[in-house]
Structure 1
Amino acid sequence: MIRSYTEHAANERTFLAWLRTGVAVIAFGFLVARFDLFILTMANAVSVRGAGRDRLEALSHSFGRGAGEALIVVGIAFILVATIRFARTGVLLDDAKIHAPGIVLELSLSVILAVLLIAASIPLILPLF
């Protein structure tokens, strides 16, 4: 039997949760990057004309691509941090010493993700017309 099996299993579950989060953030990044197609389709469906259409086109191309790429990079960072954290925690679980928890990296990624999500939602909140 594996020594400290329950702790190693908990470490693996945490790793898988971080992986799911990373994959979800990457998928959301792809969605945001291609959201311009949805905006332009909706603009055609409701017959938006003039300055409103120009603003929609400008907003959809520049912002969507940048925010989507940023979310994809953050999702990849989540996966890399999860892998490093999983390996480090596995080694620390086998060590008999007591170690201080390290949350700086996880907290940093969470703050970056929150800032990106807030930045991505600002154009949706502001009136377009």
Structure 2
Amino acid sequence: MSKIIEDEKSARVRNRRIHMANERTFLAWIRTSIGIMAFGFVVEKFALFIKQMALILGKSNIEKALPPSHGYSAIVGIFLVGLGTLMGLLALIRYKKIERQIDEDTYQPSSILDILLALSVLAVGIFLVMYLIHST
């Protein structure tokens, strides 16, 4: 009888550990999405900073120092904030789905969020490389 109780207790502890690992993964995705949103905000506001500095310093001095701007930083910034928001939502959906699968003992790994992040970073990286090549 005590063997059954010990096995039950061991299974509950193991299940708690799995749930905590799932929660840590969720929080890591949330930190990543917040980081992407913050980076997007900085990229968007940096363009505003450059425009304000151009007005303060006088356009003749700043035009020689900086390449012409096409306003892409606002687009990239908004895209990154949107991407971070979408990743946060997908992380929550993934967390709840895995939580349910752990409780039902039917866990099936899924890598949609991983693929989305990798493709998004690749797309932003390609865009930034093209932007830097074009601006030089």
TM-score (norm: length of structure 2): 0.73
Q: Contact (CA 8 Å) 1:29, 1:71: kept in 2 or not?
A: yes
Structure 1, unaligned runs of 5 or more? none
Look at both structures and tell me which one has the larger radius of gyration over its CA atoms: 2
1:19–1:82 contact (8 Å) kept in structure 2: yes
**Contact kept? 1:11, 1:89, Cα under 8 Å:** yes
RMSD (Å) for aligned C-alpha atoms:
2.9
Q: Which consecutive unaligned segments of at least 5 residues does structure 2 have?
A: 1-8
Corresponding residue of 1:84: 93
**More helix as a share of residues:** 2
Rounded to whole Å, the distance in 2 between the matches of 1:126 and 1:38 is 22
Secondary structure of the corresponding residue to residue 92 of structure 1:
helix
Give 2:109's aligned amino acid.
P
Count of matched residue positions in the alignment of Structure 1 and Structure 2: 122
Asked if 1:101 corresponds to 2:101, the answer is no
CA distance in 2, matches of 1:37, 1:71: 16
2:61 aligns with: 47
Change (3 A) 1:26 1:119: same
1:35 paired residue number? 46
Bigger CA drift: 40-49 or 2-11? 40-49
- Conserved in 1, the CA contact under 8 Å of 2:29 and 2:88? yes
Query: Counterparts of 2:61 and 2:89 in 1: how far apart (Å)?
Result: 45
CA distance in 1, matches of 2:37, 2:62: 31
Counterpart position of 1:66: 75
CA distance in 2, matches of 1:64, 1:37: 9
**Larger RCO (alpha carbons 8 Å, 6+ apart):** 1
Contact 2:87 2:113 in 1 (8 A): no
How far apart are residue 35 of structure 1 and its match?
1.5
Identity of aligned residues (%): 28
Query: For residues 48 and 102 of structure 1, what CA distance do their matches in structure 2 show?
Result: 50
Q: Deviations over 1:48-106 (max 9, x none)?
A: 336x75x53x33xx201110010011000110011001101111111133x43111243
Residue equivalent to 1:126: 133
Q: What amino acid maps onto 1:48 in structure 2?
A: I
